[in-house]
Structure 1
Amino acid sequence: MLNISKQSVSDAVHEKYELHSLKTLHTPRSAVILKRWLLAIVIILAVILVLPWQQNVNGKGEISALTPKDRPQNIQNIISGRIEKWLVREGDLVQAGDTLLVISEMKDDYFDPNYPKRLQEQLLAKGDAIKSYQLKIQSLDNQIIALQENNNFSLQKARNKVRQGYAKVTSDSTDVIAERVQVNIAQVRYDRGEDQYKNGGLVSLSELESRKLKLQEVQAKLISVQNKLAISRQELINAKIELNSINAEYAEKIAKAQSDRSSALSSLATGEYELSQLQNKITNVDIRRGQYYVKAPQEGYIVKALKAGIGETIKEGESICTLQPSAPEMAVEMYVRAMDVPLIEAGREVRMQFEGWPSLVFSGWPSATVGTFGGIVKVIDRIDNNKGEYRLLIVPKVGKGEQVWPKQLRMGSGVVGWVMLDDVPVWYEIWRQLNAFPPTLKEEPKAALKQK
């Protein structure tokens, strides 16, 4: 029955004949309900496909601190030693400068309890030695000045003596010339008298002998003057030799004094070096003795003791315990894939789910999400973690309607986060996910624009 005519006979037929085959031709009630449900689901899905969906980049990480000083740190000892006493327990809150443990010396160079006193005595002795070197240098300086003055006086005296020698030689040379003239005159008179005595007797014998005697006297005087000139010349030579020897003599004395002064300067420099070493050693010993008390660098909680027993030895720079700062500036370290890093800028909003905090998450509909906390991208690392992932540092988001991060959060707790991008239709996001395309980025966040 096609029910084409307006006059239906199906009811009359059913009432009169009660045919089972005709009864089975009616549509079941359950099929109608299923059809309506399927139609409603299709309509709902169609509406959902055109709803806005906020794209996001997901990642995992853990709770950390924004600044390195707020992150857990290992307290290390500067010197090696033996643990004598623990003054704190795990979980204790300590202030900056509180003593955590006491150690004792284990190097035999520092066993002597009077070692600083011994070093002070050495320091005083070395100071006295330096003063003596300074006095010796001063004495040698005075000696060199005196030698130089004596050298000048001796040179002046020798030069005067040379001048006197020249004058004496000149005087004796004049006497020799005068005596030679006298000898020539006496010789001429004697020869003339001898001729006169032989030829005519004009000169008596006594006169001739007197002239001869005079000649002999003058000749003897000439020899004497010549000898005196030779002595003067010899004295002049000796004066010149003495003048030259004075320079050599005083140069040797001055050189020896300068050599002694250089030796004293070298000893003084060595003494000052040793004095500086002693002063440095005394300071190092004082600082080393202060290192017997390991102190807290800042306020925080003692998390774990890495060295436990009394009498246990520790090396230089070895970790003793872990300290967690008491009031760190909380942040989240989250790692994202390298292909998503170009889409993320500083200032992007992040929604986070902390481990241990119940939440209902719709990553594309933040307004419908319950139990997540807001954050802002603060830092993006320039290098990866050798696994193809980049680290983001996320700080709490402050604003109206934002939930404050719980105070119960602990360092190292796990975090799942979503960096929120732009809004797209749901159908586009499904198509993108099916094709494994990266999210789209239409514009940068306002915070990034302000920074630029």
Structure 2
Amino acid sequence: MKIQSFDKIYHIHKDSRVKRWFYIFIILCVVVLFLPWTQNIHLRGNVSTLYQEQRPQQLNSPIPGRITKWHIKNGDYVKKGDTILQLAEVKEDYLDPQLLQRTREQVTAKKGVRDYYQAKIGTTNTQLAAINASRTLKLAQLKIKIAQLNNKVTAELAEFAAVNNELKLSEDQYNRQKKMYDEGLVSLTQFQQRSVSYQNALAKKTAVENKLAQTRQEITTVNIEQNATIQDYMEKVSKTEGERFLSMGQIQGSSGEIAKLENQAANYQARQGLYAIVASQDGQVVQLNKAGIGEILKETESIGTIVPKKVDYAVEIYVKPVDLPLLRIGQKLMCVFDGFPAIVFSGWPDSSYGTFSGKVIAIENNINANGLFKALVIEDKGQKPWPPQIKMGAGVKGIAILNDVPVWYELWRNINGFPPDYYGLKTEKSKSADEKSK
């Protein structure tokens, strides 16, 4: 009797298929070695944005103050211009509730002083005009007087010439009469009469000379008076102009003080508008670090953060220096966002699931403090859109898509430690150099 259990346990007489499966496996391995493989490099980064105004913004207090009221709580969504909290003044220079009004009153008072000096300048100009007119009139009078005296001198010179001629005639007659008297031809009485006539002519000449000298002295006196008048009026004009310039200086000083006070008033008015801290844009308020009422805020101190509501997302990826030559502007990149399930086949990106396509738009030329270079990646509009649930700062894994090569080449490259696409880059560079040489 044949025992069936013996045949089922021991397969001594059973045909083996190991060799067949071994050959099949070898053939599959060879086939796989010739399948296309997409070279890639793996990168890490985080979600960000291209635009500075769309990044999380700090809420800062522009002035020091004491918190009097909160209008929102942590996590609330606000619109641009919504009040976040209310401040009260703490600096002693601004505690006066009528500070702005009193500053404006000072401006009005300074303007009044300026108007007074402007009116004084008008009066001074009138005084100058009157002084100049009086000087012109006085000098004209003196010139007329000098002209009259010159005419008088001319007349007296003519009279002096006539008297001098008369004196010469009288002197000749006197000399002839004396000679005749000495010869006894005329009487003593006749000689005495001729002598009297000669003495009268001589006295008349002396009188005319004195009169001419007096007139010339008057001309000299009038000239001195004219010079004194000019000097006197110059002093008056200089003094009046000095007062005018002083008033002009006061006006300039008042204008400067008015501008300073108006600047202070504008600053006070602007400061009153800073007591309410408002949202700079639409978004969510997070990370509030002040609590309660009455806390004191310093100038520029951070209150919290506002995350913009509308964001054009981008990805910041960090590249090792050894991989930097493999990246270029416009290069395709597959992104795997944290929190989104994905099945990734490194060599076959088209077969991966949960990845999102992007393209490199910028590569920074400066290395970061972490020893890596940063590149910016945006959404590829022609591919599957990025999920709207991603948030700023979320982690991202990037896979840079390089050349398509056979599997055996990729294995050989990894065994030898060559970087991806090394020969391809070298070939492209040599081709471009050949084209330039041609």
Common fold: TM-score over 0.5 = yes
Of 61, 84, 88, which residue of structure 2 is paired with 1:100? 84
Where do residues 301-312 of structure 1 align in structure 2 (5 Å cutoff)?
301-312=284-295
The residue aligned with 1:68 is 52
Provide the secondary structure at the position in 2 that maps to 1:338.
coil
Distance 1:342 1:168 in 2: 114
Q: Which aligned pairs between 1:72-83 and structure 2 lie closer than 5 A? A: 72-83=56-67
Residue in 2 that maps onto 1:179: 163
Kept in 2, the 8 Å contact 1:80–1:105? The answer is yes
1:322 to 296, 305, 308: 305
Matched, 1:263 2:246: yes
Query: Across the two proteins, how many residue pairs are aligned to each other?
Result: 416
Residue of 273, 277, 290 corresponding to 2:260 = 277
Are residues 1:151 and 2:135 paired? yes
Shift, 1:28, TM fit: 9.0
Task: Choose which of 185, 194, 197 in structure 2 pairs with 1:214.
Answer: 197
Indicate yes or no: 2:44 matched with 1:44: no
Aligned to 2:112: 128
Q: Which amino acid aligns with 1:241?
A: I
- The 10-residue stretch of structure 1 (311-320 or 125-134) with the greater mean CA deviation from structure 2: 311-320
Instruction: Quote the residue 1:253 is aligned against.
Output: 236
Give secondary structure in 1 for the equivalent of 2:287. strand
Q: Which residue of 2 aligns with 1:423?
A: 404
User: Distance between the aligned counterparts of 2:155 and 2:25, measured in 1?
Assistant: 152
Q: Distance between the aligned counterparts of 2:99 and 2:89, measured in 1?
A: 13
C-alpha spacing 1:333/1:28, structure 2 compared with 1 (3 Å): farther
Q: Distance in 1 between matches of 2:203 and 2:348?
A: 149
| Distance (Å, rounded) in 1 between the aligned partners of 2:208 and 2:156 | 7
Cα distance change, pair 110–28 in 1 and its aligned pair in 2 (3 A) = farther
Once residues 28 and 382 of structure 1 are traced to their aligned partners in structure 2, the CA distance between those partners, rounded to angstroms, is 72
Matches within 5 A, 1:10-29: none
Counterpart amino acid of residue 429 in structure 1: E
* Corresponding residue of 2:435: none
Q: Alpha carbons of 1:27 and 1:438: their partners in 2 closer, same or farther (altered >3 Å)? A: farther
Matched, 1:233 2:216: yes
Could you say which residue in structure 2 is the equivalent of 1:15? none
Note the aligned Cα RMSD (angstroms): 2.2
What does residue 137 of structure 1 align with?
A: 121
Q: State the partner residue of 2:180.
A: 196
Structure-1 residue corresponding to 2:433: none
User: Is 1:352–1:416's contact at 8 Å kept on the other side of the alignment?
Assistant: yes
The CA deviation at 1:33 is 4.3
Partner amino acid for 2:180? Q
Residue 27 of structure 1: how far off its partner (Å)? 8.9
User: Structure 1, residues 246-282: CA drift from partner, whole Å, max 9, x if none?
Assistant: 3322222222222111111111000001111111111
Aligned pair partner of 2:323 in 340, 356, 361: 340
Q: Distance in 2 between matches of 1:177 and 1:28?
A: 185
Gaps of 5+ in 2: 1-9, 429-438
Query: What is the match of residue 14 of structure 1?
Result: none
**Residue 403 of structure 1, aligned match among 384, 393, 415:** 384
How far apart are residue 406 of structure 1 and its match? 2.1
Listed one character per residue, the Cα deviations across residues 175-220 of structure 1 (whole Å, up to 9, x for unaligned) are: 22322222222222223223323322x4333332222222222222
The answer for unaligned runs of 5 or more in structure 1 is: 1-23, 445-452
Which residue in the other structure is 1:17 paired with?
none
Q: Residue 265 and residue 191 in structure 1: after superposition, are their counterparts in 2 closer, same or farther (change >3 A)?
A: same
Candidates 345, 348, 361, aligned match of 1:378 = 361
d(CA) in 2 for partners of 1:189, 1:82? 125
Instruction: Look up the equivalent residue of 1:363 and give its one-letter code.
Output: S
The one-letter code sitting in structure 2 at the alignment partner of 1:335 is Y
1: distance between equivalents of 2:23 and 2:226? Answer: 137
Does the residue aligned with 2:334 lie in a helix, a strand or coil?
Answer: strand
Percent identical pairs in the alignment equals 38
| Most deviating of 111-120 and 403-412 | 403-412
Q: Secondary structure at the match of 1:339?
A: coil
